[in-house]
Chains A and B, each alone.
Chain A
Amino acid sequence: MDSGFMHQLLQQLINGLSLGSIYALIALGYTMIYGILKLINFAHGDIYMVGAYIGYVCTTIFHLPFLPSLLIAMAGSAVVGMIIERIAYRPMRNAPRIAILITAIGVSFFLENGMILLASPQPRTFSSEFSASVYHMGGLVINSQQIIILISTVVLMLALTYIVNRTKMGKAMRAVSFDADAARLMGINIDRVIGMTFALGSALAAAGGVLVGVYYNSIDPLMGMAPGIKAFVAAVLGGIGIIPGAMVGGIILGIVEALVSGFISSTFRDAAAFAILILILLYKPQGLFGKNVREKV
């Protein structure tokens, strides 16, 4: 193993880590909503897009600094997430699972085409105030935005872990996820808990959207499609419904994609992501972090 190889390997790990953090942020929302409602929210990738556009409006039109923009985008998307849950999913709460799934796809189309109508399909660019400074460390290239992405992701994940494990709302969420009917009997307001879950998941996706917008400097109304699906793979990889699983799954997926692009061929990058999905479903359907639970009949 020569140093050229090690050097490329390290660089690819850096590339993969920043990509994987974004997948992880989106995957967290998927996994939380699945955990509580058993619903694959296919509109989740589009919430990420909505977040990116709110961030765009804040930074590029109102010239707000990065942090307030990030927080406004998170809050705005949380509201959008709650409204979607209230209007589209709540009336379907007792409908067959497939009907809710189709509703989610409908919501996804609605958000994508609504944004095309509102903002035109042309890609938009964030103002260049956020352009990156690039650091060279022993031949490795790290960009300041990659560092921001990593730090933001870690902070948000810690905050989420705190909310879920240490607060009353988090306790309620875990209770509803474990057994919704029993939770209701214990006096937990299920609607509020579900609304809160959507708000949290949407806020995380929005953070991912703003970070991506600043990092790649290009957003468009269909930007959520591919990352949405990749994040879904990440959530399944880690074990859907399990929060640490989504974090690890996202990062593994990002790194695998970078390594496949770098050492095999960019043509196989997406194939690798979906091959992981197939392998996991075949051999460990409960995911890396999942416990093998038998369905009660």
Chain B
Amino acid sequence: MVRTKRILSVLTAGLILTAAISGCGGSKGSSDTIKLGGNLEMTGGSASYGISSRNGIELALREVNAKGGVNGKKVTLVVADNKSEATEATNAMQKLISQDKVVGVIGPNLSSAVIASTAVSSAARTADISPMGTNPKVTVDDHGKVKPYNFRACFIDPFQGTVMADFALNTLKVRRAAIMIDNSSDYAKGLAQFFREKFEAGGGTIVGEEMYLQKDTDFKATLTKLRDANPDFLYIPGYYQEVGLIIRQAKELGLNVAMAGGDGWDSQKLAEIALPENLNNCYFSSLYSPDDTSKLNKEFVESYQKEYKQKPDVFAALAYDSAKLFIKAMEDAKSADPGKIAEALAQVSGFTGVSGSIKFDGSHNPIKAAVIIELKNGRQTFRTKVNP
């Protein structure tokens, strides 16, 4: 799920400066260092994504260098700003590979920017990991063929539907699910489809399935109908604005069943719209939670907070894992040759990052765990990690 956010221009300007300084440091170039590229959203509408990602990568590299680097060499990061735009992302990729001679690239995060820039990285036979590019076309081309040099650290959207079906059947022990689908969003339809398949395969029944459109406000008629189908679980894989209204109206109509959705729920606005007291026994799937209880993640959150005075978000965590994946690939290949790194990435096994263990399937999508976040009186709490 990639949605653009606004950020104060003052903040952005300050960060360009920081990016420029760190960029200068990396371009000295000596045979004792290996350069990784960061094709990131440092300015523009999604600047917060790029900034978090850069923080995550720098933290990963600092840890690696403190332990003596990889294959005896230090690793540095060269950031190129893609201005949150697809065309700029292509230019940035070109610059990183031909001018800075990086051995691999992390980013962009925006699916459209990744898809545009993969042509450059593929032609240059340089591996690229997108931390958050969720569109299927990030790693496969229009003919469904895998792009040999492109990877991602996140799972593709529909996988969340599979995860939630598992959680509903095995942990919540529900058997009669109703689904409400945002008909104007491919994201929601994908999640719903995978949920339905997995839920029915696991012995559950879909007792009702209804559609709505973005900006709809009245769901009472639909919910009345669903309520009378007597479900014990309501799956709403949409975005927080409509989901908030649906949950609130459902509770008013006395539909007091467990409700769940995907990472489109992840906003403070959800609790404002639905009202906190209605957000109990509600769950959503996500890629990462800073409250994940694994030892690796606790250490990561601690050092991230020390360094940047804030909690890491999903962009920081997945960029951190992307950097660590590159390090692992270089160690496995015992080389910093871009071609060998790409080969090693495809073969990666036994890698565990802060967002869980990762290995790539045939389409270069990671097979990894998802987290389930539970809402208690509107507050997000880490519930569990669901392995695929």
**Interface residues, chain A, with chain B CB atoms under 8 Å away:** 4, 8, 11-12, 15-16, 19, 120, 122-123, 125, 128, 131-132, 134, 136, 141, 143, 212, 216-218, 220, 222-223, 225-226, 257-263, 265-267, 269-270
Chain B positions within 8 Å of A120 at CB level: 6
- Given A122-B269, A265-B210, A217 contacting B275 (CB threshold 8 A): yes
Chain B positions within 8 Å of A128 at CB level: 275
Indicate if B218 sits at the interface (CB-CB under 8 A).
Answer: yes
Chain A positions within 8 Å of B228 at CB level: 4, 8
B378 to chain A minimum Cβ distance, whole angstroms, is 11
**B 208-227 to A, binary, CB cutoff 8 A, 1 in contact else 0:** 00111101111011101100
Give the CA-CA distance A8 to B226 in the complex, in Å: 11
* Contact yes or no, A125 B269, CB < 8 A: yes
Indicate if B158 sits at the interface (CB-CB under 8 A).
Answer: no
- Given A12-B224, A258-B220, A223 contacting B215 (CB threshold 8 A): yes
* Contact yes or no, B212 A131, CB < 8 A: no
Q: How many A-B residue pairs have CB under 8 A?
A: 83
**Closest B residue to A257 using CB positions:** B221
* Contact yes or no, B254 A141, CB < 8 A: yes
* Contact yes or no, B221 A266, CB < 8 A: yes
Q: Give residues of chain B (213-267) contacting chain A, Cβ–Cβ below 8 Å.
A: 213, 215-218, 220-222, 224-225, 228, 241, 244-245, 248, 252-254
18 sampled A-B residue pairs with Cβ under 8 A: A4-B228, A11-B224, A11-B253, A120-B6, A122-B269, A123-B269, A125-B269, A134-B252, A141-B253, A216-B245, A217-B245, A217-B275, A218-B217, A218-B245, A220-B241, A258-B220, A262-B224, A267-B211
Interface size on B, residues (CB 8 A): 27
Chain A positions within 8 Å of B213 at CB level: 270
Give the CA-CA distance A282 to B50 in the complex, in Å: 55
A296 to chain B minimum Cβ distance, whole angstroms, is 42
Give the CA-CA distance A261 to B254 in the complex, in Å: 18
**Residue among A136, A212, A222, A266 having the largest count of chain B Cβ atoms under 10 Å:** A266
Chain B positions within 8 Å of A260 at CB level: 221
Give the CA-CA distance A226 to B216 in the complex, in Å: 8
Interface SS, A side:
helix
* Contact yes or no, B212 A266, CB < 8 A: yes
* Contact yes or no, A261 B225, CB < 8 A: yes
Give the CA-CA distance A4 to B224 in the complex, in Å: 12
* Contact yes or no, A12 B217, CB < 8 A: no
Chain A positions within 8 Å of B221 at CB level: 12, 15-16, 19, 257-262, 266, 269
* Contact yes or no, B215 A226, CB < 8 A: yes
Chain B positions within 8 Å of A123 at CB level: 241, 269, 273
Chain A positions within 8 Å of B275 at CB level: 128, 131, 217
**Closest B residue to A212 using CB positions:** B217
**Which of A16, A218, A267 is within 8 Å of B241, CB to CB?**
A218
Chain B positions within 8 Å of A226 at CB level: 215-216
Q: Give residues of chain B (27-57) contacting chain A, Cβ–Cβ below 8 Å.
A: none
Indicate if B349 sits at the interface (CB-CB under 8 A).
Answer: no
Indicate if B272 sits at the interface (CB-CB under 8 A).
Answer: yes
**Which of B212, B216, B254, B272 is within 8 Å of A125, CB to CB?**
B272
- Given A8-B224, A123-B273, A136-B254, A216 contacting B218 (CB threshold 8 A): yes
* Contact yes or no, A8 B217, CB < 8 A: no
* Contact yes or no, A262 B222, CB < 8 A: yes
Give the CA-CA distance A123 to B214 in the complex, in Å: 12
Chain B positions within 8 Å of A134 at CB level: 252
A52 to chain B minimum Cβ distance, whole angstroms, is 11
Give the CA-CA distance A217 to B368 in the complex, in Å: 38
Chain B positions within 8 Å of A218 at CB level: 217, 241, 244-245, 273
Give the CA-CA distance A100 to B121 in the complex, in Å: 53
Give the CA-CA distance A204 to B113 in the complex, in Å: 46
A215 to chain B minimum Cβ distance, whole angstroms, is 8
Give the CA-CA distance A19 to B216 in the complex, in Å: 12
**Closest A residue to B272 using CB positions:** A125
Give the CA-CA distance A236 to B210 in the complex, in Å: 29
Chain A positions within 8 Å of B18 at CB level: none
**Closest B residue to A4 using CB positions:** B228
Indicate if B183 sits at the interface (CB-CB under 8 A).
Answer: yes
Chain A positions within 8 Å of B244 at CB level: 218
Chain B positions within 8 Å of A265 at CB level: 210-211
A128 to chain B minimum Cβ distance, whole angstroms, is 6
Chain A positions within 8 Å of B272 at CB level: 125, 217
Give the CA-CA distance A296 to B259 in the complex, in Å: 60
**Which of B215, B218, B241, B245 is within 8 Å of A19, CB to CB?**
B218
* Contact yes or no, A262 B225, CB < 8 A: yes
Chain A positions within 8 Å of B211 at CB level: 265-267
**Which of A122, A217, A259 is within 8 Å of B248, CB to CB?**
A217
- Known pairs A122-B269, A260-B221, A262-B221 / 20 extra A-B pairs, C-beta < 8 Å: A11-B253, A15-B218, A19-B218, A19-B220, A123-B269, A125-B269, A131-B275, A136-B254, A141-B252, A216-B217, A217-B272, A217-B273, A218-B241, A220-B241, A261-B210, A265-B210, A265-B211, A266-B212, A266-B222, A269-B221
Give the CA-CA distance A44 to B338 in the complex, in Å: 60
Give the CA-CA distance A260 to B225 in the complex, in Å: 10
* Contact yes or no, A263 B252, CB < 8 A: no
Give the CA-CA distance A288 to B167 in the complex, in Å: 53
Give the CA-CA distance A143 to B249 in the complex, in Å: 10
Give the CA-CA distance A295 to B210 in the complex, in Å: 45
- Given A217-B248, A225-B215, A226-B215, A15 contacting B220 (CB threshold 8 A): yes
